[in-house]
A and B are shown apart, each in its own frame.
Chain A
Amino acid sequence: MQENYLAKWLNGELTESELADFEASEEYTAYKKIVEASNKMEAPNFDTDAAWNTFKERDTKSNSVTKVVPLQPYKQFLRIAAVIAVLLTGSYFYVNSLDESFTTAMAERTEITLPDNSQVTLNADSKVTYSAKKWDTKRALELEGEAFFKVAKGKKFTVTTAAGEVAVLGTQFNVEHRPNFFEVTCYEGLVRVTYADQEYKLPAGNSFVVVNGTLVTADKPTASEPSWMHNESEFKSIPLRYVLNELERQYGITVSTKNIDTAQLFTGTFSNTNLKLALKSISTPSQIEYELSEDNVLFYAGNTP
């Protein structure tokens, strides 16, 4: 007789001979009786509909019909949490690899020491950006505005502006890039300027000036540092418009003009510390008048006889 033959028998899985043997056995009658009796057994009553109603009622009471909904905000929360986690990790790495950046506001100046002890003096309303991490392999920075560089000797040192690139090995030079105005002045050593895909070598004591897209020859600087380092702004044959722009930057004021030819060239200096003096320095040689009120200056044509 096969294993678990009683179970097989109940399931009608015995072979004919097995069944015959089993039916002939002593216990067969007893088993048959048990099975017959068990077939008449009934489990306690269970009313499916009543149970369903109980469930529904309990459901509405404990509000677990909407329990599906509370799951959603939780998921939403997880989603947001995941995004925040990603952002945090991302920004951590991003900030870590982020370039150093220094900015000056109007009428502000700042000095920066680069990782190799090169000095950068940032004139008003300017910005330099460089990667401190990569400084050892690549001495490069980006400039918006004007800055004076005292570069420690070493590998190529590159200043990139939107107008052109200035590359040096170790020297002192000034770079100014303002809208439609690009000026590089070399005070020591040799500076290579790349402007509009052209390379210009600038030996000490030379300036490279581009105004409105045209290269203008400039006189050699006489000083060892740009004048603004001594709180003076110096100009040589520069259109008045740029002079006034510089005045705005140095004092954080608004300059307006009336009946004035701002293209006329200006040669001279103005003080970066004394506004009254500066205004006089500009207006007198240009034979114009000015009016100062609060943070506004109006230059207007004087009554020329």
Chain B
Amino acid sequence: MDNVCEERTFSSVFKTNSKTIFNYIYYKYGNEEKAHDAVQEAFVKLWENCAKVTTEKAKSYLYTVANNLYLNVLKAEKVRFKYAEQHKGGASAESPEFVLEEKEFQQKLDGALNALPENQRTTFLLNRVDGKKYAEIAALEGVSVKAIEKRMHLALKSLREKIEGI
């Protein structure tokens, strides 16, 4: 049977999925430590049940385990982000005012993100930060692509409303 008990298969599954699982849990709960734990837990469970899980199903199995781990027990904390420096060209092409304004905007965005419902935030960030396609997010959340589009739409809409203070 095709399962993930083979160590090489397992390690490749680990390498391709662990970061996204980490991010996924982090976006949900804003807790880095718990996100690390979730990755470990999910893979321990997968290893324990490796004989029953096919390589195909491994991914959704991992998300289900990670997702269920803190279901209703963990209170969401603030998600914090690092922002990459934007400047591609010279070190300080922009005026100090602009940089300040930019910083302010990023703080507002952080606040708005944290105010989003957990599922909208997770969907939005998986798409924007991790570059996950809607279909991929839909698969790991176990919902339709349309539902993900709805979440994206609503997320973007409320982010703008929050930031503009409407």
Contact = CB atoms under 8 A, between A and B. Distances in A.
Contacts of A33: 105
Contacts of A65: 47
Interface of B: 5, 11, 14-15, 18-19, 22-23, 26-27, 32, 35-36, 39-40, 43-44, 47-48, 50-51, 80-84, 86, 102, 105-106, 109, 124-125, 127-130, 134, 146, 148-150, 152-153, 156-157, 159-160, 163-164
Contact of B156 (A10, A52, A58, A71): A10
Nearest to B86: A40
Contact of A68 (B27, B35, B50): B50
Contact of B32 (A10, A44, A71): A44
A52 B14 contact: yes
Nearest to B52: A71
B106 A37 contact: yes
Nearest to A13: B149
A41 B83 contact: yes
A30 B160 contact: yes
Contacts of B40: 51, 54-55, 58
10 contacts: A4-B146, A7-B150, A8-B149, A11-B134, A34-B160, A41-B82, A46-B23, A59-B44, A62-B44, A64-B48
Nearest to A34: B159
A170 B14 CA distance: 85
Interface of A: 3-8, 10-11, 27, 30-31, 33-35, 37-44, 46, 48, 51-52, 54-55, 58-59, 62, 64-65, 67-68, 71
Contacts of B47: 59, 64-65, 67-68
A55 B15 CA distance: 12
A54 B50 CA distance: 19
A42 B149 contact: no
B18 A4 contact: no
Contact of B160 (A3, A31, A59): A31
Contacts of A48: 14-15, 18-19
Given A35-B156, A42-B84, A46-B23, 8 more contacts: A4-B146, A4-B152, A10-B127, A31-B156, A31-B160, A48-B15, A52-B14, A52-B15
Contacts of B160: 27, 30-31, 34
Contacts of B5: 68
A207 B160 CA distance: 117
B153 A46 contact: no
A62 B47 CA distance: 12
A65 B44 CA distance: 9
A33 to B, nearest CB: 7
Contacts of B125: 38, 41, 43
A34 B111 CA distance: 12
A35 to B, nearest CB: 7
Contact of B83 (A8, A40, A44): A40
Contacts of B27: 43
Nearest to A62: B44
Given A52-B15, A54-B40, A55-B44, A42 B81 contact: yes
Q: Which of B39, B47, B80, B156 has the most CB of A within 10 A?
A: B156
Contacts of A37: 83, 102, 105-106, 109
Contacts of B157: 6
Given A6-B152, A8-B149, A43-B129, A52 B18 contact: yes
Contacts of A46: 18-19, 22-23, 35-36
Contacts of B23: 43, 46
Contacts of A67: 47-48
A266 to B, nearest CB: 76
A259 B34 CA distance: 100
A39 B128 CA distance: 6
A37 to B, nearest CB: 5
A41 B86 CA distance: 10
Given A37-B109, A43-B23, A48-B15, A7 B149 contact: yes
Given A7-B149, A7-B152, A40-B86, A51 B127 contact: no
B68 to A, nearest CB: 19
